[in-house]
Every structure is written in C-alpha cells, then in structure tokens.
Structure 1
C-alpha cells in the first residue's frame, strides 16, 4: 500500500519551473515527481534521509 504524501504549496520562479519541466520531460516524469526525486537525492546526499525499515526494503 502506498504511503500518503504531504501536500503543500510551492512558489518558484517561472524560469526555474520551465527548466524543471524540460528536465522532467527528458526523464519521463511529471514536474512534481522530478522535484521529489531531486529533493530525495539532496537529502540522502546530506545524510538526512531517515533509514528505511526492513518492511520498506521488502516492498511491503
């Protein structure tokens, strides 16, 4: 079962959004999914991403 996601409003510069839109299309993602992907990478790189439980590793 999928975890529920937190919703929030994000205001960004038009040029940045256009760049994200192009990047997302190049990687066959929505802009929202692309932003989430980029943020997850940054948080993991900073060693601030919470460790996953064993159930998360098994895909449950």
Structure 2
C-alpha cells in the first residue's frame, strides 16, 4: 500500500466539532470521516480516480478469531 499523504487542514472550530460528533456517531475518527466525505464528493462529481483503495469499514477492527454475531 502506498504511503498516505499528510496535510494540514484549518477548520472553523464549530465545523470541526460538528465533524467530530458526526464521526463519533458513525464510529469513525474525525480524520476518517473527512476522508469518507471527500471520497463521496469526488465520486458524486465523477472525479474519484480509478484504482483508489477502499476505505476500512467504520467501527473497531475485529480481533482475529472473532465471529460474526449478526446471524
């Protein structure tokens, strides 16, 4: 996997707080929520490059050997 780019992003504190609350509701970090929204916007605009890796689903990663209890 290619190294991820690091950027400095300046946000209005109220916007950051709203993003952080939204991210918590969806079990994502604020950074993952921003990436999710940017990817969605790129996709909706038809500008998401081909070959872009998929994002990890929200929530905690499963421990090895952990079974799916949704059945």
Q: What TM-score, normalized by structure 2, do the two folds share?
A: 0.69
Indicate the residue corresponding to 1:18 in structure 2.
17
Q: 1:3, CA displacement in angstroms? A: 2.8
Q: Which runs of 5+ in 2 are unaligned?
A: 55-71
RMSD across aligned C-alpha pairs, in angstroms?
1.9
Question: Counting helix residues as a fraction of each chain, which structure ranks higher?
Answer: 1
Aligned residue pairs, count: 54
The Cα offsets for residues 13-40 of structure 1, whole Å up to 9 and x where unpaired, read as: 0000000000000000000000000000
Higher relative contact order (CA 8 A, sep 6+): 2
Question: When the two structures are superposed, what TM-score results if normalisation uses the length of structure 1?
Answer: 0.81
